[in-house]
Amino acid sequence: MVVIALIPALLFGMYNVGYQHFLAVGQEAGFFEKFIYGFLAVLPKIIVSYVVGLGIEFVVAQWKNEEIQEGFLVSGLLIPMIVPVECPLWILAVATAFSVIFAKEVFGGTGMNIFNPALITRAFLFFAYPTKMSGDAVWVSTDSIFGIGGGQVVDGFTGATMLGQAATAAPGASELINVNGTPATMWDMVVGLIPGSIGETSVIAILIGAVILLWTGVASWKTMISVFVGGAFMAWVFNTIGPDTPMAQMPWYEHLVLGGFCFGAVFMATDPVTSARTETGKYIFGFLIGVMAIIIRVLNPGYPEGMMLAILLMNIFAPLIDYCVVQGNISRREKRAIKSNN
């Protein structure tokens, strides 16, 4: 069901890759030409992710004489969706192998990992190959693929993401710019026609996935909603008492629709293996993810996208949150029992 829920964001991501390409080079192209360009750019990443990840899982399963688990079917699709389109395939293969081995198999395999494997892949890429995961040159493809597209970028071209622009803008600046130099509208941000990781830009496509996950009961609405509440609250705090920087003064609703915030809240924070499992703990876990994501964005200009680090940080504290909730329940029951006996 998670794979099915990811399909809308994946298909739109493919289209957006082509859309951003033809916008950058100033060429006219139809819907299908844009989609085919993006499809050809994204498909190799999906193949590499599955071949490397499933290959390692097959080897480990044979070595342990265990059945092969289906967990990587989700991670294998998440990984290519949370990386820039210009991420080299060999680097993606190395990062996927690192994630499967050190973030999953060493903990015991599917269901035993404490970190989200897809986010560990992105973290490995960001810290091991930072120039391939950030900057202005990784989010928009300008090369031709099998003779489709290609060309010199237009005047005024900017390949930076909206968050990247806000992080490096001078105090008082407020306008965000599209690839072709035109001002970005709120509609662009919600629909997803902006530079970013392949599957993270479209709020509408992610919303469709969220409805599927919630309708089928796969994801927890408590965790999901709490992430947005925490992010909106922290963004409002910075709007009120924060520094005079574009990132701190960015409206709370723009924080929620830009970068990987929506994608992380829907598909990453709700991972049942690495998130809090108690009902009260889900509220706390999600709220703190939203708060930490905005804090990292605003206070760390070198890393404008804070969702990945926020979720990984809270993955560490998820067991502690559950422990505190359980102990709190035990203490309250003991007090009630003492009162009833008296």
Phi/psi for 193 (5° steps) reads: -85, 55
Token pair 């963004």 in the structure block, residue: 235
* Phi and psi torsions of 284, nearest 5°: -65, -45
- Rounded Cα distance between 247 and 186, Å, is 16
In DSSP terms, which residues pair with 183 in a beta bridge? 177
Which of 55, 48, 117 is closest to 88 using CA atoms?
48
| Helix (H/G/I), strand (E/B), else coil: 227 | helix
How confident is the chain (342 residues) per 10-residue block, as mean pLDDT?
Answer: 96 96 90 95 96 92 82 90 94 94 86 90 92 86 86 80 84 76 89 93 96 95 96 96 88 93 95 93 97 93 86 95 94 85 72
Q: What residues have CB less than 8 Å from 190, skipping those under 6 apart?
A: 203, 204, 257
Distance CA 314, CA 18 (A): 35
Q: pTM of the prediction?
A: 0.92
Cα→Cα distances 314→121, 207, 208, 295, Å: 17, 23, 25, 14
- Residue 181, pLDDT score: 81
